[in-house]
Amino acid sequence: MKIALVFGSSGLVGQQLVEQLIQNNSYQKIKLFVRKKPNIKNPKIEIIETKFDNLEILSSEINGDGCFFCIGTTKKNSPEKLEYQRVELELPKKIANLAKQNAIQSFIFVSSGYANSKSSGDYLRFKGLVEEELISLKFNNLGILRPSFLLGNRKEKRIGEKIGIIVFKILSPLMLGPLKRMKPIHVKVVASAMIKIAQLEPKQIIFESDEIVKLNED
């Protein structure tokens, strides 16, 4: 029986991930690292209230079999560039390094389609830089997921993103070949793929959006 560590359990992907981990018999404990105590009750769940600006004091808690990272923010929620950089770049790198120090075998990271460390935009550049850091740490099992537009029930309504999803849904049947990775993908599919990668330990490291879908079909 395994212990899962989840960072970002309150987000769109994270909520679905926790639901699926609860239903998965391979996991006996699910450790949620959170700023505020969530309204969730299940015998598998262990809540660890976390000060993310001082993770060292909780380093001993970062132990288990697999670490699932799906924390993210937006420029709207983190308008200050340094705070945005802290959440999108420094935080995942710090947690990954602590996980490696504590001999965690699997690290599963939700990145973004077209992540690139040389991108001119902060979002894709930070995701790309985190990917490079994760690869350099040489986890026994590393999964980097690059989903396209995420479908699901959002707490926060982002007008631009909502319009984009509608447009991509309309265009989806026309997205063939290399464009398949741009098709919208449901958070249930992403969460399921995260667990599958953690359990199956495939040799592949980076999964584009269409490959995430295919992984669930296999």
Task: Please write the tens of the pLDDT for every residue from 83-133.
Answer: 999 999 999 999 999 999 999 999 999 999 999 999 999 999 999 999 999
Q: How far apart are CA 102 and CA 62, in angstroms?
A: 7
In this prediction, residue 168 carries a pLDDT of 53
Domain boundaries, the chain: 2-154+185-217
pTM, to two decimals:
0.89
Q: What is the pLDDT of residues 149-178, one digit of tens each?
A: 899 886 665 565 566 556 656 655 655 556
CATH topology of domain 2-154+185-217: Rossmann fold (3.40.50)
Section 56-68 average pLDDT: 94
By the 10 Å C-beta count (0-12 exposed, 13-18 middle, 19+ buried), 107 is classed as buried
**Residues of the chain above pLDDT 70, percent:** 87
CA separation for the pair 196, 216 (Å, rounded): 8
Residue environment code for 113-134, b if the CB has 16+ CB neighbours within 10 A, otherwise e? bbbeeeeeeebbbbbbbbbebb
pLDDT value of position 79: 79
DSSP strand pairing (27-34 vs 45-49): parallel
Q: What is the CA 201 to chain-centroid distance, rounded?
A: 17
Please tell me the predicted confidence (pLDDT) of residue 154.
67
**How far is C-alpha 164 from the geometric centre of its chain's CA atoms?**
21
Q: What is the mean pLDDT of residues 64-75?
A: 93
